[in-house]
Amino acid sequence: MSLPFVVTFGEVMLRLSTPGFARFPQSGHFNATYGGGEANVAVSLAYFGLPAAHVTRFPDNDLGKAATQLLRQHGVDTRHIRYGGDRLGLYFLETGAASRAGRIIYDRTHSAFAQLQPEAFDWEEILEGARWFHWTGITPAISEGAARACREAIRVANRRGIPVSADVNYRRNLWQYGKTAAEAMPELVEGCDLIVASTNDAAEIFGIRPEPGADDAYQSVCQRLMQRFPRLKRVTTTHRGVVSSSHNTLAAVLWNGRDLVRTVEYPIVPIVDRIGGGDAFLAGLLYGLLTDQHDQQALDFAVAASVLKHAIEGDANLATVAEVESLVKGEVGRLVR
């Protein structure tokens, strides 16, 4: 087997969702799948035909095995997964509809991943021959150990000249182990070449706000982020318009230091499953960049990939390159025979 192009690192959880439109107290069963922000990127890349390996830690039980199997089924290299610890993190999902909001109950504390020993991962070996490394801001929020493993991975990637991306993805209610995002994230983002960060993320994590009077607030934030983190070559985000739980719109914008690249805005109606929409975007962007598309092409591909993800059940985008390209060209609603 050829070595993987992309390596991702982060927690994978069991997702338990109520079927159809059922609310929690109505449901006598839960649909079960496995996902996590970084692993979703790896799965999507595998469907795009780019080899990807996911690095994580699972409990050494049948659930950890089942999670591994799902990644392997979808074509992700699982050889660097470690086993041990108490439990698999999980979350419960009640899918929203129309005016009713979706709801998530997280149950991820004390997970095998949160309890990982950083030294269990030999990043020199893991990143041998890799073309890209990806992490998200959720990982350093989970535990000191996870943050340290992430830092080490970035350090090795930087030393080897492997580009690094991150979805900074600020979630206040994580970060329970003693550090704040503002304390931990800057050191990690310093090693990044590309980040997904909204105006809000920049403010909350880095205290960076748009220059007053800037023509474009987001461009201003990006420029300040690049000043602060000189390795950064691209900063990007999606803009989600919300009509209802069943109807969103999506567009994206990317600053590459020279141009502010924008996409068209897509309607998304009905939404089948919005979980992992951001991960699908990032995977699409990596696909574009790794296949040497220019930034407009890559961003168009990325946002179309994210739009398609909303029509697919589960955390991960199972769309192919052909399907994304077809949407980029504006083909919708055909029946492919």
Near its own copies in 27-56, by CB under 8 A: 27-33
Near its own copies in 108-147, by CB under 8 A: 109-110
3 touches its own copies by CB under 8 A? no
61 touches its own copies by CB under 8 A? yes
Site string for its own copies, 158-177 (x = CB under 8 A): -------------x-x----
73 half-sphere exposure, CB direction, 13 A CA radius: 10
Near its own copies in 192-211, by CB under 8 A: none
Phi, psi of 153, rounded to the nearest 5 degrees:
-60, -45
Near its own copies in 65-84, by CB under 8 A: 65-66, 69-70, 72-75, 79
Dist CA 159 CA 2 (whole Å): 22
Question: How many chain residues interact with its own copies (CB under 8 A)?
Answer: 86
Task: Please answer whether residues 287 and 301 qualify as being in contact, where contact means their C-beta atoms are separated by less than 8 angstroms.
Answer: yes
25 touches its own copies by CB under 8 A? yes
Binding test (CB under 8 A) with its own copies, winner from 43, 45, 81, 88: 88
315 touches its own copies by CB under 8 A? no
Token pair for 240: 């989600």
Choose the binding region for its own copies from 94-102, 128-136, 226-234, 291-299 (rule: CB under 8 A): 94-102
Binding test (CB under 8 A) with its own copies, winner from 10, 278, 284, 314: 314
Task: Please answer whether residues 141 and 174 qualify as being in contact, where contact means their C-beta atoms are separated by less than 8 angstroms.
Answer: yes
Dist CA 17 CA 33 (whole Å): 9
246 touches its own copies by CB under 8 A? yes
Q: Least distance in Å: CB of 78 to its own copies?
A: 10
Q: What is the DSSP letter of 14?
A: E
Dist CA 91 CA 25 (whole Å): 16
21 touches its own copies by CB under 8 A? yes
Identify which of residues 92 and 290 has a Cβ nearer to its own copies in the complex.
92
Task: Please answer whether residues 154 and 231 qualify as being in contact, where contact means their C-beta atoms are separated by less than 8 angstroms.
Answer: no
Token pair for 2: 């050829």
Phi, psi of 59, rounded to the nearest 5 degrees:
-65, 150
Task: Please answer whether residues 127 and 133 qualify as being in contact, where contact means their C-beta atoms are separated by less than 8 angstroms.
Answer: yes
Cis ω for the linkage preceding 270 (within 30 of 0): yes
Choose the binding region for its own copies from 107-115, 120-128, 193-201, 290-298 (rule: CB under 8 A): 107-115
Binding test (CB under 8 A) with its own copies, winner from 5, 84, 100, 148: 100
Binding test (CB under 8 A) with its own copies, winner from 182, 260, 264, 272: 272
Cis ω for the linkage preceding 19 (within 30 of 0): no
Binding test (CB under 8 A) with its own copies, winner from 158, 199, 245, 297: 245
335 touches its own copies by CB under 8 A? yes
Q: Least distance in Å: CB of 183 to its own copies?
A: 22
Q: Which of 188, 186, 204, 176 is nearest to 148 (CA)?
A: 188
